[in-house]
Chain A
Amino acid sequence: MLELKNIVKEFGAFKALSDVTFSVKPGQVVGLVGENGAGKSTLMKILNGVHQPDGGEFTLNGEPVALNGPRDAAKRGIGMVYQEQSLIPILTVAENLFLGNEDRFIRYGRIDWKAMGKAAQRFLEQVEIDIDPFTETGTLSFMQRQMVELAKVLRLQDMTDGDLYILLDEPTSVLEKEEIEILFGVIRRIRDRAGIIFVSHRLDEVIEVSDQIFVLKDGETVRILDKAEANPPLIHELMVGRSAAGSYYRESERRAPLDEVVLEIKDLGKEGEFKKVNFDLKAGEVMALVGTEGAGIEPVMRSIYGLETVDSGQVKFRGKDMTNPSCSEAVFAGIGYVPRERKTEGIIEPMSIEENVVLPNLPKMTRFGLIDFPQIRKATNHLFGPLRIKAESRLAPCSSLSGGNQQKVVLAKWYNTGAKLFLLDHPTRGLDVGAKEDVFDLIREICGNGAAVLLIADTLEEAIGLSHRIIVFRDGQETARFDNTDPDVAVTPLDLVGNMV
């Protein structure tokens, strides 16, 4: 049994954990939930030996332990499946599984590949994926790689005499529904051999898979729930300290779109990605595109913004042709893009909040060619309040912000340009409930101001909750279209799924 009692962790004056109690037994799946900044990551890093606690007790089977890093944690049977994957794409699956631990396969100074393959096969079977251990890892799908990650942690069985503890950090955030089911199946099967710690923002999933749920808030364990008593509204309330607002997606704020057509897409096609895409979008309207990974909805969105080029068809923005623009043309015309990968395309982390916010608009905020600093300060300060960005100051680097606040900076950036069309690709990905609600508020406000929103949502519920209309894609083509504003017909996730697969 792995047990933490009254754990404290401080970073300078900042108390990341003030009183955390946590335990997991072999054969048990425990969920760990909390808002961004509640201390989940810090707790994970303590369990994994990256950080050492400043106070409290950390015991393994009753013995106090002090871990010296992830390698030491691994030796004691504690392994972590990382959110951002740690596999090396050009190596084979078997090589990845035994990277740094090849010694046992060495015969006469060289690696006995057959033996390594066999051993790898054994672990792959445990996570139930049917792949050749000599496949190059880079050719696998995301889901398969996730399973290989899991197998890599299971390998610790051979290295430790004691029990195995596996940390899963947001393992489902990029998986599709059916892939999540497979993952859960595997989790249920390997629990006989291990204690599993499951961290996720998706409360329904946590409840489904966990026996017990630890709720963190502001660095403290506020409640330990048994599966039977757990439900999403209760956990939500414990996490944020208030109950979820009556209408989570701000349905009551949804207004009818205006007559002005902002975006017209005609017969848009791109070889191998999507074809014959047709729709138009009105001012004040939210249109959700849904589809599985590879259904082509992201390429459609990215090609409107000029990040991908189309082979056929036409895009008209506010009456003017805008097929295959450059990004700067799209920005200049009044399109804003909130990318799925926040850290790579959304923000420039070392630059300040202010610099990030005004970046697309800078050429317009000048006097005699020089940046008009007072104007910029006014614009940024003006955005801080309504967007509830929590930061030291507008000059703080974006790297110092939590994920939720970084996302608000990305939204603020386009808000500031006065964009007429917002392309939102998973705008709530990885955000906690509170930050999500802020984003929903913003989307409503954007529409209220007469801009149009094209949305790829994180979940089907979100797509339904936010949108006026929904287009379902499969294999790059539209399969169905739903009007979500009809009060007599409620669109359900099941309606959508039926057209997705």
Chain B
Amino acid sequence: MKIKLNTQGIFLPFAALVVSVGLVGAVDSTFLKPSVLINLFADMSTLFLMALGLTFVIMTGSIDLSPQAVAALSSVVLALLLPSWGYLAIPVALIAGVAAGAIAGVVFAILKIPSFVATLAVGGITASLTLFMSDQRAIQLDTQLRASKLDWAIGDVFGLPNEVIVAAIAFIVMLVIERATPYGKAVRAVGFNEFAARAAGIRLLWIKLSVFMVAGFMSALSGIVLAGRLAAGSPTIANEFLLPAIAAVVLGGTALTGGTGSVLRTLLGVMLIAVFRTGMNFVGVDVLAQQIVFGLILVLAVGLSINRASSETVK
């Protein structure tokens, strides 16, 4: 029963993935070369990290609009501190992300401000702080420093880019948390019915707050990998990430209404987004125009999502 339900929900995004890979491959067969596909995975890893964190937030029925600001913050923190602090800069950049998430979580869960407002506001504050800290410019990373301290994120092992490995580890950890820990069950329970979850003894406020900290952590990790790839920390480093990240989560079939969802679905969603993006590049769609497509995909994905039919009103 359980297995049947899962495959049903996941069939559509999976079929869409197979079809779109086939379509792009038919237009240009170089797309199906292993090297191209591996590069594709590497390119999408930062988006995937961000979408992973976002998945838990969306599974509780909330939304986080701040991940791109948080990623930019952590990239700038990293770039500023790496020369003098060395490896220590990495945990500090991650903590900065968790802190931003925690602040958004407190504003949402404790002050009871709707999550889209809370994260929009905290995201705005974070973005301004990042601009201030970076003096509104990109902070270049020294080539040697980058090679020595960020190799774990941007090097490769037997030709497999480390971005992919980092993303894979993050994915497996998140999947285990989701499926096999009380925390993961609590996140789902809160998403489906927070009153019943609270009455079952789940620490409602903690769950609602902590998912934003998870999202902050993942966005910060995404920002660090981005900084490594682009050899700089920048206040605009993750611009244009928010829309595809939300689209990826929803496209995978995680419902915005909460409860239904999985990081596994997000993996599929991100792959779909990556194929679309590459497909558009192959066909020659302007990078700026691609946001139009992601916007349309988001609307379409929410429209097709399973839970919409059962909820009668939309707010």
Contacts and interface: CB of A to CB of B under 8 A. Distances in A.
Interface of A: 305, 307, 326-328, 330-332, 337, 339, 344-352, 355, 359-360, 362-363, 366, 369-371, 373, 392-393, 395-397, 413
Contacts of B203: 326, 328
- What 5 A-B pairs come out closest when comparing CB atoms? A331-B201, A362-B182, A360-B201, A359-B200, A345-B199
B308 to A, nearest CB: 15
Contact of B1 (A330, A359, A371, A392): A392
Interface in B148-201: 176, 180-182, 185-186, 188-189, 192-193, 195-201
B260 interface: yes
A363 B200 contact: no
A362 B181 CA distance: 8
B260 A350 contact: yes
A350 B259 contact: yes
B250 to A, nearest CB: 18
B112 interface: no
B2 interface: yes
A398 to B, nearest CB: 10
12 contacts: A327-B199, A328-B201, A344-B193, A345-B195, A347-B196, A351-B188, A351-B192, A359-B202, A362-B182, A363-B182, A366-B182, A369-B181
Given A330-B201, A369-B181, A348 B189 contact: yes
Interface in B1-50: 1-2, 5
A341 to B, nearest CB: 8
Contact of A352 (B2, B195, B259): B2
Contact of B189 (A305, A326, A339, A359): A359
A14 B255 CA distance: 30
Given A328-B202, A359-B189, A362-B185, A348 B197 contact: yes
Contacts of A345: 195-196, 198-199
A51 to B, nearest CB: 18
Contact of A346 (B185, B186, B199): B199
Contacts of A347: 196
Contacts of B197: 348, 359
Interface string B245-260: 0000000000000011
Interface residues of B, number: 25
Nearest to B188: A351
A345 B201 CA distance: 11
Contacts of B188: 351
A332 B182 CA distance: 14
Interface in B249-280: 259-260
Contacts of A363: 182
Contact of B199 (A337, A373, A395): A337
B192 A350 contact: yes
B289 to A, nearest CB: 39
Contacts of A396: 1
The DSSP consensus for interface residues of chain B is helix
A349 B192 contact: yes
Among A346, A348, A373, find the residue whose CB has the most chain B CB atoms closer than 10 A: A348
Nearest to A370: B180
Among A326, A349, A350, A393, find the residue whose CB has the most chain B CB atoms closer than 10 A: A350
Nearest to A336: B201
A45 B13 CA distance: 36
Contacts of A395: 1-2
A376 to B, nearest CB: 10
Contacts of A332: 201
A396 B202 CA distance: 22
A348 B1 contact: no
Contacts of A355: 185, 189
A377 to B, nearest CB: 12
Nearest to B307: A350
A394 to B, nearest CB: 10
Given A330-B201, A348-B200, 18 more contacts: A307-B198, A307-B199, A327-B198, A327-B199, A328-B202, A328-B203, A331-B201, A345-B195, A345-B198, A348-B192, A348-B196, A348-B197, A351-B188, A359-B189, A363-B182, A371-B181, A393-B1, A396-B1
Nearest to B260: A350
A355 B191 CA distance: 14
B196 A346 contact: yes
A396 B3 CA distance: 11
Nearest to B189: A348
Contact of B185 (A327, A344, A359, A392): A359
A359 B176 CA distance: 17
Contacts of A339: 199
A349 B193 contact: yes
B192 to A, nearest CB: 5
B182 A351 contact: no
Nearest to A391: B1
B2 A348 contact: no
Interface string B116-155: 0000000000000000000000000000000000000000
A326 to B, nearest CB: 7
A344 B188 CA distance: 15
B292 to A, nearest CB: 34
Contacts of A348: 189, 192-193, 196-197, 200
Contacts of A360: 200-202
B196 A344 contact: yes
A337 B198 CA distance: 11
A327 to B, nearest CB: 5
A351 B195 CA distance: 14
A4 to B, nearest CB: 29
A351 B59 CA distance: 13
Nearest to A354: B2
A363 B198 CA distance: 15
Interface string B188-225: 11001101111111111000000000000000000000
Given A330-B201, A344-B196, A396-B1, A371 B189 contact: no
Contacts of B180: 370-371, 373
Given A349-B193, A359-B200, A370 B1 contact: no
Contacts of B201: 327-328, 330-332, 359-360
Nearest to A338: B199
Contacts of B193: 344, 348-349
Contacts of A330: 201
A370 B259 contact: no
Contacts of B1: 392-393, 395-396
A370 B176 contact: yes
Contact of A331 (B200, B259, B260): B200
Contacts of A362: 182, 185-186
A351 B189 CA distance: 8
Nearest to A369: B181
Given A359-B200, A360-B201, A413-B200, A371 B182 contact: yes
Contacts of B200: 331, 348, 359-360, 413
A351 B199 CA distance: 15
A346 B181 CA distance: 22
A362 B186 CA distance: 9
Among A351, A355, A359, A397, find the residue whose CB has the most chain B CB atoms closer than 10 A: A359
A44 to B, nearest CB: 20
A370 B178 CA distance: 10
A339 B193 CA distance: 14
A421 to B, nearest CB: 13
